[in-house]
């Protein structure tokens, strides 16, 4: 009887020794997936922040246009310096359209990502937004 108990204890200890390091292996196997998810989340946050910046730039350009000033200069000055490189400002009758490229974490997504924003304004001396 004592031999059976001893065998059971050795079997349990042997089984535990066989699982030693299992968590480390699982962590290493799952780490690339976790890193990919982190990169995707960071890229989405960068796109969202760029959308906010584009909206601010369009609004600043529209306000400058309403005062009779330059829409492009006002839009460029409304955003941080690192974001000005990918900024395009188009002035239309009663509106300012802004297009920006968000920062990219992965080089192959640069051609796919564009953020657009528009802001309408009443032209000086007019009552409505339409021409």
The pLDDT tens digits of the residues spanning 5-62 come to: 655 555 555 555 667 778 788 888 889 999 999 998 999 999 999 999 999 999 999 9
CA gap 50, 45 in Å, rounded: 9
Q: Assess contact for 23 and 88: CB atoms under 8 A.
A: no
The answer for residues whose C-beta is within 8 angstroms of residue 26's C-beta and 6 or more apart is none
List phi, psi (to 5°) of 107.
-60, -30
CA gap 84, 76 in Å, rounded: 6
Give this prediction's pTM.
0.71
């Amino acid at each position: 009887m004592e031999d059976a108990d001893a065998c059971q204890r050795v079997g349990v200890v042997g089984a535990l020794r066989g699982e030693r390091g299992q968590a480390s292996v699982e962590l290493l196997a799952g780490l690339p997936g976790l890193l990919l998810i982190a990169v995707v989340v960071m890229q989405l946050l960068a796109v969202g922040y760029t959308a906010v910046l584009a909206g601010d730039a369009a609004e600043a350009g529209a306000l400058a246009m309403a005062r009779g000033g330059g829409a492009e200069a006002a839009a460029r000055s409304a955003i941080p310096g690192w974001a000005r490189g990918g900024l395009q400002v188009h002035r239309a009758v009663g509106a300012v359209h802004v297009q920006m490229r968000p920062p990219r974490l992965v080089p192959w997504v640069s051609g796919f990502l564009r953020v657009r924003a528009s802001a309408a304004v009443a032209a000086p001396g007019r009552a409505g937004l339409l021409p």
